């Protein structure tokens, strides 16, 4: 059976992330990992915090903390929130780990030996006011491509164009706000990506099953303008991976560190080493080295569209350029953006819901369901409180929750808290079983293809089929004249609950676990044989009536939350 390696884009350490960040990488990656585990596959699901570069330094300075202390504290915060959302990482690492330091320096040495790293003298922005060179994210200004006034020195968040700080119009220091910037000469290392253009193009072209969003962004960077450019991989910073050539010092590079976008993707590999060193697993190489058994691994990455260029070009250039037998990604699932109620999420303005705040309001499953069922796969999606309330109340409370509550309570009142024995299935029951069988097959195919919204829609339809069956057959009415027939109807409906739990576990794991606990079922297997699964609870099997699975969101709560997160703070 195929083994599955899954990584989600590693989040920056500089603060708690909003719901758009969550649905753009970590949450769909968790959905896929949970699904594959449920199908019996061996899965290694890795993530980490991205701790180097200017975002870390700037956030630490704002917090008044040493950067190492700040990163350690925020890693613990992000790990705790990830656990709160049920993100089932096998390991949640840190790009500042010794493993990533050593591996980044290893790749740099190998790439240099193969002529793919060039030492260049270049002019870089220097701030006399700050008394230092300003790496890319220490400079902001107007984007020369789209006119966005808060473009960063490495990339414009508005149009995603790759930039150099010197490209910005009216540049300013993000440290002091100084505008008296000047160009001074300094030395840096460049990854000669341009030498890999044809190899990368052939590789990307061969990925005919990738989402259009992924390949279109990659090919745009390959072919637009002057095509794929060499990329600077060092910065004048104190915090980061020191520039070394393997274990050796790199003359002329003293006091410099590797650029965060060079070392951050390498953390995917390093996190597997951390996983082993932490005693959680064995033999990381069988996941990452094709000469050590990784040939039978399928590697899937999840990320927002802004991360696509680095994962389709820069990181593969590093891996391929090394000439070593590293595992390359097989499938990249990329996502568009989630917007908030007609605008953008904003940390500074307090606009939108951030992950810690979401968990203060409602349990994780409420958020997981809405985000995944509205995942921005083919276009940007918008979060509104009205839509969130409607989706939770209808899908989770009225359809799934109501079905479970209704049938367990009715059975308790008429037959006791055990699966009734009397009666046999008729054409209505056989029709339901056939319908569910077809829908489960479609659902499985959509999950295999990582079609998140389609899978959510099919799962919702599977839930609804049970409700429609109960409504049409009305066992509470049938019981008055034919108790045996009502017993058979109830028996089938009760058997739907563990089936629903198993299918729903990747989306709403906490509710799924409560459903299985209520039905006194342990380790429910994926229903490869749906008719057999719908007979898994035999007559006489005891169950408990569960507490309400999902409470409805009131109009008052919705209005209060909308006001709270509207972004009134300056």
The pLDDT tens digits of the residues spanning 469-484 come to: 999 999 999 999 999 9
Task: Walk me through the domains of the chain, giving residue ranges and CATH numbers.
Answer: 383-533 (1.10.730.10)
Evaluate whether 91 touches 79 at the Cβ level (below 8 Å): no
- Both tokens of 307, joined, read 């991360």
Reduce the DSSP state of residue 305 to 3 states and report it.
Answer: helix
pLDDT score of 523: 83
Bridging pattern class, strands 117-127 and 132-133? antiparallel
Q: For the chain of 570 residues, list the mean pLDDT of each consecutive stretch of 10.
A: 94 94 97 97 98 89 94 98 98 98 98 97 89 85 93 86 88 91 92 95 96 95 86 91 96 93 97 98 97 97 95 96 98 96 82 95 98 96 97 98 97 97 95 98 98 98 97 96 97 98 98 98 92 96 96 98 77
pTM, full prediction: 0.93
Bridging pattern class, strands 248-249 and 257-258? unpaired
Evaluate whether 404 touches 467 at the Cβ level (below 8 Å): no
pLDDT digits 0-9 by tens, 240-264: 999 999 999 999 999 899 999 999 9
Neighbours of 219 (CB within 10 A): 14
- Both tokens of 24, joined, read 């753009």
347 is in an annotated binding site: yes
- C-alpha–C-alpha distance, residues 411 and 475, integer Å: 10
pLDDT score of 23: 97
Cβ density class 443-476: b for 16+ within 10 Å, e for less: bbebbeebbbbbbbebbbbbbbbbbebbeebebe
pLDDT score of 114: 97
Q: How far is CA 181 from CA 124, 140, 186, 191, 204, in A?
A: 10, 12, 15, 26, 40
Please provide the DSSP assignment of 234-288 as one string.
EES-SSS-B-EETTEE-TT-TT-EE-HHHHHHHHHHHHHHHHHHTTS-S-THHHH
Alpha-helical runs (H) found in 304-416: 308-309, 315-321, 355-361, 364-373, 385-391, 402-414
Strand runs (DSSP E) across 399-506, as ranges?
none
pLDDT digits 0-9 by tens, 516-555: 999 999 988 999 999 999 999 999 999 999 999 999 999 9
Q: Give the dihedral sign, CA 417/418/423/426.
A: positive
- C-alpha–C-alpha distance, residues 19 and 16, integer Å: 10
| Separation of CA 255 from chain center | 34
71 is in an annotated binding site: no
Evaluate whether 368 touches 358 at the Cβ level (below 8 Å): no
Span between the terminal Cα atoms of the chain, in Å: 54
Q: Give the dihedral sign, CA 168/174/177/182.
A: negative
Neighbours of 425 (CB within 10 A): 17
Residue identified by tokens 């060079």 is 262
- C-alpha–C-alpha distance, residues 471 and 477, integer Å: 10
- C-alpha–C-alpha distance, residues 137 and 131, integer Å: 16
Please provide the DSSP assignment of 201-246 as one string.
HHHHHT-TTS-HHHHHHHHHHHHSTT-SPPEE-EES-SSS-B-EET
Residue identified by tokens 């989600």 is 8
pLDDT score of 568: 59
Please tell me the total number of residues recorded for the chain in this structure: 570
Q: How far is CA 138 from CA 10, 125, 167, 241, in A?
A: 21, 10, 14, 18
Closest-CA residue to 567 (of 13, 5, 18): 18
Beta bridge partners of 123: 185
Evaluate whether 396 touches 356 at the Cβ level (below 8 Å): no
Burial class (CB in 10 A: 0-12, 13-18, 19+), 554: exposed
Evaluate whether 133 touches 125 at the Cβ level (below 8 Å): yes
pLDDT score of 425: 96
Q: What percentage of residues in the chain have a pLDDT greater than 70?
A: 99
- C-alpha–C-alpha distance, residues 124 and 143, integer Å: 18
Beta bridge partners of 127: 132
- C-alpha–C-alpha distance, residues 390 and 352, integer Å: 18
Backbone angles phi, psi at 496, to 5 degrees: -70, -30
Beta bridge partners of 182: 126
- C-alpha–C-alpha distance, residues 360 and 354, integer Å: 10
């Amino acid at each position: 059976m195929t083994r599955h390696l899954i990584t989600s884009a590693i989040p920056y350490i500089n603060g708690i992330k909003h719901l758009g960040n969550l649905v753009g990488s970590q949450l769909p990656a968790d959905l896929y990992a949970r699904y594959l585990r449920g199908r019996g596959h061996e899965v290694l699901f890795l993530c980490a915090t991205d701790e180097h570069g200017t975002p870390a330094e700037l956030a630490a300075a704002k917090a008044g903390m040493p950067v190492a202390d700040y990163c350690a504290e925020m890693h613990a915060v992000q790990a705790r929130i990830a656990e709160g959302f049920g993100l089932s990482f096998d390991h949640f690492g840190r790009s500042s780990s010794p493993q990533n330091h050593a591996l980044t320096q290893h790749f740099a040495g190998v790439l240099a030996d193969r002529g793919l790293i060039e030492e260049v003298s270049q002019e870089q922005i220097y701030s006399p006011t700050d008394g230092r060179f300003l790496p890319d994210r220490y400079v902001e200004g107007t984007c020369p491509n789209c006119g966005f006034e808060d473009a960063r020195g490495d990339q414009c968040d508005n149009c995603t164009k790759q930039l150099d700080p010197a490209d910005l119009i009216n540049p300013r220091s993000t440290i002091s706000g100084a505008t008296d910037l000047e160009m001074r000469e300094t030395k840096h290392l460049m990854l000669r990506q341009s030498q890999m253009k044809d190899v990368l193009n052939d590789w990307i072209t061969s990925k005919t099953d990738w989402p259009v969003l992924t390949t279109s962004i990659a090919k745009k960077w390959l072919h637009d303008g002057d095509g794929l450019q060499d990329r600077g991989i060092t910065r004048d910073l104190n915090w980061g991976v020191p520039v070394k050539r393997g274990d050796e010092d790199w003359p002329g590079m003293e006091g410099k560190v590797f650029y965060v976008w060079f070392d951050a993707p390498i953390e995917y590999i390093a996190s597997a080493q951390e996983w082993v060193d932490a005693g959680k697993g064995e033999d990381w190489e069988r996941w990452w080295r094709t000469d050590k058994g990784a040939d039978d691994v399928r590697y899937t990455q999840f990320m927002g569209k802004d991360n696509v260029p680095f994962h389709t070009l820069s990181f593969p250039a590093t891996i391929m350029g090394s000439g070593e037998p590293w595992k390359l990604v097989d499938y990249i699932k990329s996502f568009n953006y989630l917007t908030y109620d007609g605008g953008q999420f904003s940390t500074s303005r307090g606009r939108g819901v951030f992950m810690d705040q979401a968990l203060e309001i409602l349990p994780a499953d409420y958020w997981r369901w809405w985000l995944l069922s509205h995942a921005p796969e083919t276009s940007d999606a918008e979060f509104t409180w009205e839509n969130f309330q409607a989706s939770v109340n209808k899908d989770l409370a009225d359809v799934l929750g109501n079905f479970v509550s209704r049938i367990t309570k009715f059975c308790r009142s008429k037959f006791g808290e055990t699966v009734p024995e009397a009666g046999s299935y008729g054409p209505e029951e056989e029709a339901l079983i056939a319908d569910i069988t077809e829908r489960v097959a479609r659902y499985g195919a959509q999950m295999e293809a990582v079609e998140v919204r389609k899978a959510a829609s099919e799962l919702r339809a599977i839930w609804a089929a049970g409700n429609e069956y109960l409504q049409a057959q009305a066992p509470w009415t049938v019981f008055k004249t034919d108790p045996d027939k009502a017993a058979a109807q109830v028996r089938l409906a009760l058997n739907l609950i563990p089936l629903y739990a198993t299918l729903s576990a990747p989306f709403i794991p906490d509710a799924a676990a409560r459903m299985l606990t209520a039905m006194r079922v342990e380790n429910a297997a994926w229903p490869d044989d749906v008719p057999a699964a719908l007979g898994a609870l035999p007559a006489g099997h005891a169950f408990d009536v569960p507490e309400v699975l999902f409470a409805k969101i009131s109009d008052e709560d919705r209005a209060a939350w909308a006001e709270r997160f509207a972004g009134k703070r300056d």
